[in-house]
Amino acid sequence: MLKKMNLWKNQNNSSSLRDRIQQIIDHEVPSHVAIIMDGNGRWAKKRALPRVAGHHEGMKVVRKITKLANELGVKTLTVYAFSTENWKRPKMEVDFLMKLPEEFLGTFLPELIEENVRVEMIGYMDKLPEHTRKAVSKAMEDTKGNTGLVLNFALNYGSRAEILDGVKRVLADVQSGIMDEDELNEEVFSSYLMTKELNDPDLLIRTSGEIRLSNFMLWQLAYSEFWFTDVLWPDFNEEHFVEAIEAFQSRQRRFGGV
């Protein structure tokens, strides 16, 4: 009897979620969603597991959320996978994190191709191990013709470094006469950043209860809507993502106006 009640409850919850998804699709969906995937280590610690177990579980969540974002009509999903500061972590953990793109893309790539998802990356690829570079480059090459959701990995990415590099390139172009300094404005400067091919995020999601940006897309998030949750990333599911989109749709974006 209890088994039947649980089955009915799960079916009812599933039906309710499908209704909410349809409601979202019928309204304005954020074109670009960025996610700071936080809490993998704490998730593992709560279960007396090594931190790497949390990272491995979190990888499965990326797969689920990518599929849902694509279904909802999100154009770009940027996930903060590894920051320029994460190199300070223990070597064993860093080595494991550098293997995750290879495992994730190795198993998920056929599905990404089938679902018309294009893989992109922002960050300093030249500093990554060769096996990580090869996995990411292969995924980008194999999906470059896809026209659906852009799954954008922020890998070895740091926003301050990105902005400083952009400033240096602007100065070089001004000094060489390629650009007049009077031509420099926000739109022009954005073209010197790693995200030059992408629209700025409409919505930022951060998990695990932390309320900070952690050197992530500082320029691009100037007018994004923020949504924070105490849920640890490995526990983040489709319903949480739907809740974040619903919160976005309930807000009025003024961009400094009235």
Question: Treating both helix axes as pointing N-terminal to C-terminal, what angle do 51-72 and 91-114 enclose, rounded to 10 degrees?
Answer: 20
Q: Between vectors from CA 194 to CA 125 and to CA 198, what angle results, nearest 5°?
A: 125
Non-local (6+) Cβ contacts of 106 within 8 A are 135
> Could you give the residue numbers annotated as active site?
38, 86
**Angstrom distance (rounded) from CA 96 to CA 44:** 14
Task: Delineate the domains of the chain, giving CATH numbers in brackets.
Answer: 29-158+201-250 (3.40.1180.10)
224 closest CA partner among 255, 181, 179: 255
The pLDDT tens digits along the chain (258 residues) read 545 445 445 555 677 999 999 999 999 999 999 999 999 999 999 999 999 999 999 999 999 999 999 999 999 999 999 999 999 999 999 999 999 999 999 999 999 999 999 999 999 999 999 999 999 999 999 999 999 999 999 999 999 999 999 999 999 999 999 999 999 999 999 999 999 999 999 999 999 999 999 999 999 999 999 999 999 999 999 999 999 999 999 998 776 665
How much is the pLDDT for 8? 46
Q: H/E element holding 36? A: strand 32-36
Contacts of 147 (CB under 8 A, 6+ apart): 116, 118
Residue 107 and residue 93 in contact, taking contact as beta carbons nearer than 8 Å:
no
Residue 252: the pLDDT is 85
